[in-house]
Structure 1
Amino acid sequence: MADYVLGAPLQTTASGEIIPTELETAQWVNDADMGTPGSDAERTIYMAGHTSPNQSAAFNALYDRATSTSHVLAGDEFLVTTEATVATGLEPLRYVVTGVEAYPKGVVAADAESEVWRIVPGRLVILTCFQNPSGVRSVDNFVVYAHYTR
């Protein structure tokens, strides 16, 4: 079991688009119908970030750049720091991975009935791309499903 500390700077969007603007910055999706992180989350919360085969990027720790395969397994833990945990001195939020899935690019955005968009209180969905080691544009989105534990 591995622990992943999501230490990338976070930006928040309320635009409905999940397109992080910088390689090293992750993005909370904070539209009116999306949840916010924490123990009282009534909806699924979403975080998105880039990976890169040859540069530093927010979610590079999630996959093996040489083989374009996942490091993340069910049972792994993500420790998520938010503005609220920092301001109050609380420990990071802990989420346990319940599953991972690769989807062809475009499927996640096009399918409103996808597991990705299912409303589950306390669930964290992390969205990224698997970058090809050759530098060819990514053809897959990688999704991590996790649930809040404390």
Structure 2
Amino acid sequence: MTARTRSRVVQGVLAIAAVAAIAVAAFALLTPPAAPADLPVDMAGRPVVPDVVPTPASGDTSTTSGIGQFQVPSTGLDVPLGVMDVVSGTIDPPGFTSAYWIRSMGVSPANAADGTVYVAMHSLRNGGIGPGNYLIDVERGRSSLAVGDVIEAAGASYRVTGARDVLKSELGADTDLWSDKPGRLVVITCLQRPEGGPSTHNVVIEATLAASAAG
């Protein structure tokens, strides 16, 4: 790949949320010639370049292998639903083309009626396209979903009940967010900024299990 080609395809990325000790990984665009060929890619196949390469955490068993699909018909989002862990208090999905069920919190999609299913995904800046970009309205600084929109997570169907933005440094202390409530879905992604630069807020979308799925 030539340097000129890289300048068109290398994209910046913003990290996802963090909980517990609140540690937020930071990502940004590197100069194109410095981009190695083995970078992860966004949904358009373009390289995603982190500011600092994260140190692999011991005990992290996150995987991009899907347990189903994550779909939002109103926005056209349809990606695999992988599995991830909270490691050292941080939610940092391992890829940029999937949504991720956070298995160390709440319940699994298979037990959706019994508790809260937590899903996280990356959104990207600098023209990158991650799953989270389908869920945010950058210019208006909010979620792009409306109340009543359908979300499908590994076969479980939910309807959106609301969305809000949360300062990243306050996410871990949001006790209501992390309380395990039956039949609830919580989706977290970064809220990108119109002017660019690192995200300071997350979008939190909440949805309720559809009556037919709840049994």
Q: TM-score, normalised by structure 1?
A: 0.78
Structure 1: any 5+ residue segments left out of the alignment? 83-91
C-alpha distance in 1, partners of 2:93/2:199?
15
Q: Answer yes or no: is 1:72 the counterpart of 2:145.
A: yes
C-alpha distance in 1, partners of 2:118/2:75?
16
1:10 is matched with: 81
2:95 is matched with: 22
Once the 2 structures are TM-superposed, how far is the Cα of residue 15 of structure 1 from its aligned partner?
4.0
Once the 2 structures are TM-superposed, how far is the Cα of residue 5 of structure 1 from its aligned partner?
5.9
C-alpha distance in 2, partners of 1:30/1:5?
25
1:34 is matched with: 106
> Which secondary structure state, in structure 2, belongs to the residue aligned with residue 106 of structure 1?
helix
Q: Answer whether contact 1:44 1:124 (CA < 8 A) is retained.
A: yes
2:203 is matched with: 142
1:95 is matched with: 158
Q: Answer yes or no: is 1:47 the counterpart of 2:119.
A: yes
Higher relative strand content? 1
Q: Which moved more, 1:121-130 or 1:55-64?
A: 55-64
Let me know the Cα RMSD of the aligned residues: 2.1
2:184 is matched with: 123
What is the aligned length? Answer: 136
Q: Answer whether contact 2:100 2:120 (CA < 8 A) is retained.
A: yes
Structure 2: any 5+ residue segments left out of the alignment? 1-72
Taking a change above 3 Å as real, the CA distance of residues 107 and 8 of structure 1, as seen in their structure-2 partners, is: same
- 1:119-147 C-alpha deviation (Å, 9 max, x unpaired): 11110000011011332100101100101
Q: Which moved more, 1:120-129 or 1:64-73?
A: 64-73
- 1:5-38 C-alpha deviation (Å, 9 max, x unpaired): 652223212345421122222111001x520114
C-alpha distance in 2, partners of 1:102/1:40?
24
1:104 is matched with: 167
Q: Which moved more, 1:138-147 or 1:3-12?
A: 3-12
- The share of aligned pairs that are identical, in percent, is 29
Q: What amino acid sits opposite 2:103 in the alignment?
A: N
Q: TM-score, normalised by structure 2?
A: 0.57
> Which secondary structure state, in structure 1, belongs to the residue aligned with residue 114 of structure 2?
coil
Relative contact order higher in (CA < 8 Å, ≥ 6 apart): 1
